[in-house]
Chains A and B, each alone.
Chain A
Amino acid sequence: MSEHIVSVRVYITIFLVLLVGTALTVLAAFIDFPWRLNTIVALTIAVVKATFVVLYFMHVRYSSRLVWVIVASALFWMGILFALTFSDYLTRDWISTQTG
């Protein structure tokens, strides 16, 4: 498998996408969305920006399956970290409201 060289045009496009994403996230922060949409919008933009960086600047799109598996494993363990911790904290007052 020979190495893929990402073109300058792709790098410039990704750079512009990241700048637009930054401007959008600042603009969106000043709008009062209902419910928790402000956080959801901010995180969605951040995830999209990070995905572009990983796929193109970090060449994962053109990397071997083994690199894909390693990147996915990071997300998987982060998922465990957050899911197990919040399954504790978010459910604590379920008990206290019943007993107290």
Chain B
Amino acid sequence: MAIEATTQPVHGHRSLQHHFENMEQQREAGTLGMWIFLVTEIMFFGGMFLAYALYRSLYPAAFASASNHLDITLGAVNTGVLILSSFTMAMAVYFTQVGKQRPQVLCLVLTLFLGLAFLGIKAVEYHDKYEDHLIPGRLIPGNPFNPAVQEEGQPIDHHKLHLLPGATLEKVEMFYWIYFAMTGMHALHMVIGAGLLTFLIIFSLKGRFDPEYHSPVEVVGLYWHFVDIVWIFLFPLLYLLGRHFEHG
């Protein structure tokens, strides 16, 4: 009868959950769900980008002065590290799709290593800001926001802030609130990503993924690339906005 023909059981993959028709439907549902999560993440970071845009438009001179104190070399190197990690992540997805386990594990380990390298460089930068008393407010007990200011005619000291005309320390502090909030939230996302990669590496070593079942790799990849995109915007907006005033 016709009814029996339509209710044939699908003998599926071991990773196929019972509420999905087949592996492809399961994978598409997972990808879609991840994208919806990423939209909420875009809105979350969007609020901070809005705060940045607003205060920068109100206090352009202070934002340029504060930004010029950031280490452009470390920022640029970190951008390269993150882009390379996005590439190795994409390659991890590729090797899972074509069913090559060893390069897949290698790419995941490389991605994790590059992610940790990014966090290490970020830690060096944070430490520099700590040394120069640039941690805003009184977040660090005994080391409130109190940077030294470069006076006209004195020898140039890179630990001192050079204030452009119209900039005040109060508004420079505003920049550093936003800087630490945005890079801090970004770094937290990197830490979470590193944790997810660790799980992927364990499961990958156990041979859990194959061309038919690679959703976890794909979905963590989407997350990792999203975090990369946030940094693609953070780097020019935080590090590069005022350079042309000093080197024009």
Interface residues of A (CB under 8 A from B): 1-3, 5-6, 8, 11-12, 14-15, 18-19, 22, 25-26, 29-33, 38-39, 42-43, 45-46, 49-50, 53-54, 56-59, 63-64, 66-67, 70-71, 73-74, 77-78, 81-82, 85-86, 89-90
Contact = CB atoms under 8 A, between A and B. Distances in A.
A71 B229 CA distance: 14
Given A5-B98, A67-B35, 9 more contacts: A5-B97, A15-B86, A25-B240, A31-B248, A46-B236, A53-B86, A57-B89, A63-B31, A81-B47
Given A6-B94, A89-B57, A73 B39 contact: yes
Contacts of A49: 232
A50 B226 CA distance: 9
Contacts of A89: 54, 57-58
Nearest to A71: B35
A84 to B, nearest CB: 10
B53 A67 contact: no
B236 to A, nearest CB: 4
A42 B236 contact: yes
B30 to A, nearest CB: 12
Contacts, number: 131
Given A25-B236, A45-B236, A50 B229 contact: yes
A90 to B, nearest CB: 8
B39 A46 contact: no
Given A39-B241, A57-B86, A82-B53, A11 B43 contact: no
